[in-house]
């Protein structure tokens, strides 16, 4: 599951360039949003009941308009549909 997410992000970032200009009516792809990355991280936990937590950690200034970005999804009870989702970049320790 983690490899699937890594391949998706890698392929999207290699192919997508929001600053690219096309002739005709075609428009460039938009960059990934925070909501999309939060959703993909949560999808890792939803896809397999054996996974208790998952995180997607971005290097400094690599995510659009964010210095730090680290979506983290987790659950505290087995076999439940209660999940928690946080941006770990907010936590300063």
Q: Is 26 left (phi over 0), alpha (psi -120 to 50) or beta?
A: beta
Question: Is 39 exposed, middle or buried, given 0-12, 13-18 or 19+ CB atoms closer than 10 A?
Answer: middle
In terms of pTM, does the model score above 0.95?
Answer: no
Read off the CATH number of the domain in which 42 is found: 3.30.450.20
User: How many domains does the chain fold into?
Assistant: 1
Name the residue range of residue 49's domain.
Answer: 2-90
Q: pLDDT digit string (tens) for 29-65?
A: 788 888 999 999 999 999 888 999 999 999 998 888 8
> Among 2-6, 13-17, 52-56, 83-87, which stretch is predicted with the lowest mean pLDDT?
13-17
């Amino acid at each position: 599951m983690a490899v699937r997410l890594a391949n998706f992000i890698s392929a999207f970032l290699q192919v997508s360039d929001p600053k690219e200009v096309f002739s005709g009516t075609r428009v460039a792809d938009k960059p990934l949003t925070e909501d999309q990355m939060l959703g993909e991280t949560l999808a890792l936990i939803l896809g397999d009941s054996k996974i208790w937590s998952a995180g997607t950690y971005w290097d400094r200034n690599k995510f659009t308009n964010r210095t730090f970005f680290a979506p983290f999804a987790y659950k505290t009870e087995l076999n439940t549909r209660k999940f928690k989702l946080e941006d770990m970049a907010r936590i300063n320790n």
